[in-house]
Amino acid sequence: MIIGERRKAKKYRRKARELKRKFNELCWDGGWFIRGFDDEGEAIGSSACREGKIFLNAQSWAVISKIASKKRAKKAIVSAEKMLDTEYGPALFTPAYSRPYEKLGYISRYAPGTKENAGIFMHAVTWMIIAECMLGRARKAYEVYRKTCPAYRGLDPWKCKTEPYVTSEWIAGPESKYFGEGWNSWLTGSAAWSLRAVLDYILGIRADYDGLIVDPCIPREWREYRVRRFFRGATYEIHVKNEAGVSRGVKKILVDGSEIKGVKLPLFKDEETHYVEVILG
């Protein structure tokens, strides 16, 4: 959309408000958000369902989209943690579908616990990490990351069974006899999403329209880290210091020795290197 089309902007804001209202009215199940509805209007991903009671994506995207209130968003994520998380990461949903269902189609045609049928699907895992960070739950975000990170999984190669330097498309879920095994390496957009989850949200260095935001969400034990970020015609050498032992909160940012206001680094576009010191607290 062309910037300046105020009439369209007003229309879409109104539509967004209507969608938010209907979503919260129809899709809240008491402890989590319903995944959707079939052609007959029956809920998918509801506590009333025998199979497919709770879906991960519905909870994480309720947070990421900011369509849910903070209270409901947190409750939904906690429900997802309790019901979906495993030693190898959170499953896509639970329980798995035990047979093919015509009205559900593709998702129910895989064996239980594999791929889209309640496997640990890495796209969904990365969105869970992002949602945890957006809620300020640094420890939980990092726990999910470690469980699914190829380098850590590769320490147990007989279970992992994929390269310790490649993100799997999915990991067999708890209802599969292959639980914990990685599948379809070199064949997934999850690798890019993993980078976004780690760089943008755990390390907290992400692009915005008019600058580079620095807003880490890290384990309290981390005392410092460095990131070199190439961004819109300049190089940013970023040193984050956490002497206060916090998981979130930026106390001060210095860019080339001068303090800036807020957490957004300025644009330079000068092909030069700029040094950034971030003090958490």
> What pLDDT is attached to residue 1?
47
How many whole angstroms separate alpha carbon 274 and alpha carbon 194? 26
Q: Which two tokens stand for residue 200?
A: 């943008």
Measured in degrees and rounded to the nearest 5, phi and psi for residue 251 equal -85, -40
> What pLDDT is attached to residue 2?
64
Spans of all domains in the chain: 15-202, 207-280
Residues whose CB is less than 8 angstroms from the CB of residue 156 and which lie 6 or more positions away in sequence, other chains included: none
> What pLDDT is attached to residue 3?
76
Low-confidence ranges of the chain (pLDDT < 70): 1-2
Which residue bears the tokens 């959309």? Answer: 1
Q: Which two tokens stand for residue 5?
A: 């089309």
DSSP string of 13-37, one letter each residue: HHHHHHHHHHHHHHSB-SSSB--EE
Fold match, 15-202 / 207-280? no
Q: Give the N- to C-terminal CA distance of the chain in Å, as an integer.
A: 39
Q: Which CATH number fits domain 207-280: 2.60.420.10, 2.40.160.60, 1.10.287.130, 2.60.120.1570?
A: 2.60.420.10
Which residue bears the tokens 């369209």? Answer: 8
Q: What is the CATH number of domain 15-202?
A: 1.50.10.10
Measured in degrees and rounded to the nearest 5, phi and psi for residue 219 equal -60, 140
- CB–CB of 122/113 below 8 Å? no
pLDDT per position as a tens digit, 186-198? 988 999 999 999 9
Q: Which residues of 219-231 are buried (b: 16+ CB within 10 A; e: fewer)?
A: eeebeeeebebeb
The answer, yes or no, to whether the previous bond of 95 is cis (omega within 30 of 0) is: yes
Strands 250-255 and 211-214, how do they pair?
Answer: unpaired
How many whole angstroms separate alpha carbon 232 and alpha carbon 211? 9
How many whole angstroms separate alpha carbon 45 and alpha carbon 190? 23
